[in-house]
Structure 1
Amino acid sequence: MMVFFWQCVLFLSLASALLVHADMKLDCRPDTVTLVWTENRSQADTSLFRLGNCFPTSFSPRRAVFSVDVNNCNFKRLVTGSHLLYTNDLTYISSPDSNILPSTHLVVCEYESCCTVICFILCRPKDWYPMMYYPVFNTYGEGDLEFHIGLMNADFSGPATSTSFPLGSLIPIMASVVQKSHQPLLLLLEECIATSTPELHPKSSIYPIITNKGCLVDSKISRSKFEPRQTSSEIHLSLQALRFAHGEEVFIHCSLVAWDPVGLTNTRKACYYVKDHGWKLLDNSTYSNLCDCCESSCTSRRVRSIRSEKHGIVQKAVLGPLTITMNS
């Protein structure tokens, strides 16, 4: 049966993606794709390659490896007759001061049916119509983008089973953006504050969590931190439960920003403080100097609309209520 199956699969790799300075190898399986990009330019940072919105599964100084499910990473599916195509973009996110320009290469996996409907069923990847599940409390729309924010369990694998957290424990928070027709976007938390009210008022008592365009200021006095990204369209925050509004309902008000992945600046970033090491940039620690302004004021050098679809979209969101309890 397996021999018959693999006779039904046709793998394509566009010749235009094989450049003189690199080599791309692609392995299309029934439900997974493995891509190995070997880079010949010594100054290239292989950690900056993205397959759709997925980060490399592993990387070395000269190689980036992706081993992913075809239902993830923003693969696009197209059915043409007896052919099923999965397409995506392999992009290189160049840093602002790099001599290497950003680049994009098309990735294509084609599954071809045999002469019968039975063979087509065997050839297509499983989860033909994948179920979409978002473990969230709140959903917000902005054009054809959907923003989500919610409380998660300890390993971020599912929604939290309780909204009560002992003082000093870590509160797992996940925010995400669902991208429909957009190019892959990077989700950032521009600002988050805690209050005891679901709406902000001039007299509301607030506790700053993230300020100054993406600086997790709470991490300077607590164990709060950004967790490593799984995909660019999600951001995971471990927030240490604070004394603010003890015993009362707590609401966390955030500004979510969906941003061009190649446009990280000192006003579009995710920074957290590491004891004895200073401020660290979540997405590329090599450029943690973008976080230097967290100790002063992070301002843009050029005035531009933050709601410009070309540069990013901002969405307000409220998480809660949740309760901080004393340790038993």
Structure 2
Amino acid sequence: MMAFFWQRALLFSLAATMSVYADMKLDCRPDFMTLVWTESRSQADTSLFRLGNCFPTTYSATEAVFSMDFNNCNFRTLVTGDLLMYTNDLTYSSSPDSHIMGFTHPVVCAYERPKDWYPMIYDPVFNTYGLGDLVFHIGLMNADFSGPAESTTFPLGSIIPIMASVAQQTHQPLLLLLEECVAATTPALQPESTIYTIITNKGCLVDSMISRSKFEPRQKSSEIHLSLQALRLGAGEEVFIHCKLVAWDPNGLDNTKKACHYVKEHGWELLDNSAYSNLCDCCESSCKSRRIRSISGKYGMVQKAVLGPLTITDVNS
């Protein structure tokens, strides 16, 4: 199938400008890509670059090279219109003694989808939302979060893997949080909608108190992985997950900007640093809101998103 793609491969650059200190070359092939990042700053440690969760294939004093299959490195697949897109993030995490700030750069290989090509089971539920120069994603994933789910149907009690992310582009590294999430039987929330609360109180996964739902360990700050236990809501009907996604300063966590889940026989735990789990103490009372402070000093980024439809089946019915 991929052999049809190479003649019409399109390379999308989502960043407004490239750094004057570096040059990125991206070669999108039928089923793999090669990325070469060239640095002119002598202080940069090219071994610290990552493509998704992958280390460089090779690196030198000035270059980091990645030659990777799209099935590796946590590439995300997005089918939209006539395009099949593979997206990832190139990240640089500077060492503690370095003066070079870490950053993230989007990597996208896009192909014109052949007219006779269709997903094996369905078009992946993976929605994209733009807000300024940020691009938010939310989607259903497979069991190990390595790619899109192959079905939108989940048995009652099974785990629904959900991933949300933000393409940071020209921003400094951001932390992606889920501030609120509810499940509903309607694609738009209405006063008469039947809803089930999943996350509330500024990032508290309250569903984890009565289920196996939990946040998975982060692979990168710009993504958050949620393992949601399929709930009893609208059995056999279409279900939609409505969320508020927040892009935030990684150093600005407080009791209104956090990701907390409940660990049985332990209590509330902060996803990003369990040593500061006291930020979750308000999860069963009220986590008071305050004025949003921005990464740039003015405001934070909040985006509403809807995931679905998906279907939850009761095996006993």
Aligned-pair distance for 1:242? Answer: 0.5
Map of 2:58 onto structure 1: none
Give the corresponding residue for 1:90: 94
CA distance in 1, matches of 2:248, 2:51: 12
Within 1, Cα distance between the matches of 2:250 and 2:203?
15
Aligned partners of 2:51 and 2:66 also within 8 Å: no
Q: Tell me whether 1:276 sits opposite 2:270 in the alignment.
A: no
Aligned counterpart, 1:214: 203
Q: What are the residue-to-residue correspondences of 1:241-280 with 2, within 5 Å?
A: 241-280=230-269
Quick one: structure 1 residues 160 and 52, their matched pair in 2 at CA, closer, same or farther if it must change by over 3 Å? Answer: closer
What's the secondary structure of 1:258's corresponding residue?
Answer: strand
Q: Distance in 2 between matches of 1:240 and 1:68?
A: 39
Cα 1:279–1:154, aligned 2, differ >3 Å: closer, same or farther?
A: same
Matches within 5 A, 1:1-328: 14=42, 26=45, 28=46, 33=47, 35=48, 74-75=90-91, 88=92, 90=94, 105-106=99-100, 131=109, 137-300=126-289, 303-305=290-292, 310=297, 311-327=299-315
Pick closer, same or farther for the CA change 1:207–1:107 going to 2, 3 Å. Answer: closer
Where in structure 2 are there 5+ consecutive unaligned residues?
Answer: 1-36, 56-63, 69-87, 112-123
The alignment's C-alpha RMSD in Å is 3.3
Offset, 1:104? 6.3
SS of the residue corresponding to residue 99 of structure 2 reads strand
Contact residue 188 and residue 259 of structure 1 kept, 8 A = yes
Deviation at 1:105, TM superposition (A): 2.6
Q: Find the aligned partners of 2:287 and 2:182 in 1 and give their Cα distance.
A: 17
Percent identical among aligned pairs is 66
Alpha-carbon shift at residue 74 of structure 1 (Å): 3.8
CA distance in structure 1 between the partners assigned to 2:135 and 2:311 by the alignment: 27
Counterparts of 2:249 and 2:98, CA distance in 1: 14
Cα deviation, 1:264-302, whole Å, max 9, x if unaligned, reads 1110000000000000110111111111110110014xx
Alpha-carbon distance, 1:55 to partner: 9.1
Query: SS of 1:154's equivalent?
Result: coil
Contact 1:254 1:316 in 2 (8 A): yes
Q: Secondary structure at the match of 2:251?
A: coil
- Rounded Cα–Cα distance in structure 2 between residues aligned with 1:105 and 1:70: 28
Q: How many residues align?
A: 236
Distance 2:53 2:98 in 1: 15
Q: Once the 2 structures are TM-superposed, how far is the Cα of residue 203 of structure 1 from its aligned partner?
A: 1.6
After TM superposition, the score normalised by the length of structure 2 is 0.66
Q: TM-score, normalised by structure 1?
A: 0.64
Structure 1 unaligned regions, length at least 5: 1-8, 18-25, 36-50, 58-66, 76-87, 93-102, 109-128
Change (3 A) 1:277 1:263: same
State how far apart, in whole Å, the 1-side matches of 2:182 and 2:126 are: 17
Letter in 1 for 2:202: K
Tell me the residue number matched to 2:74: none
Paired letter, 1:230: Q
User: Hey, what's the Cα distance between the residues in 1 that align with 2:224 and 2:141?
Assistant: 12
> Secondary structure of the equivalent of 1:90?
coil
Relative to 1, partners in 2 of residues 1:223 and 1:106: Cα closer, same or farther, differing over 3 Å? same
Q: Which amino acid aligns with 2:109?
A: M
Supply the distance in 1 between the matched residues of 2:307 and 2:214 (Cα, whole angstroms): 18
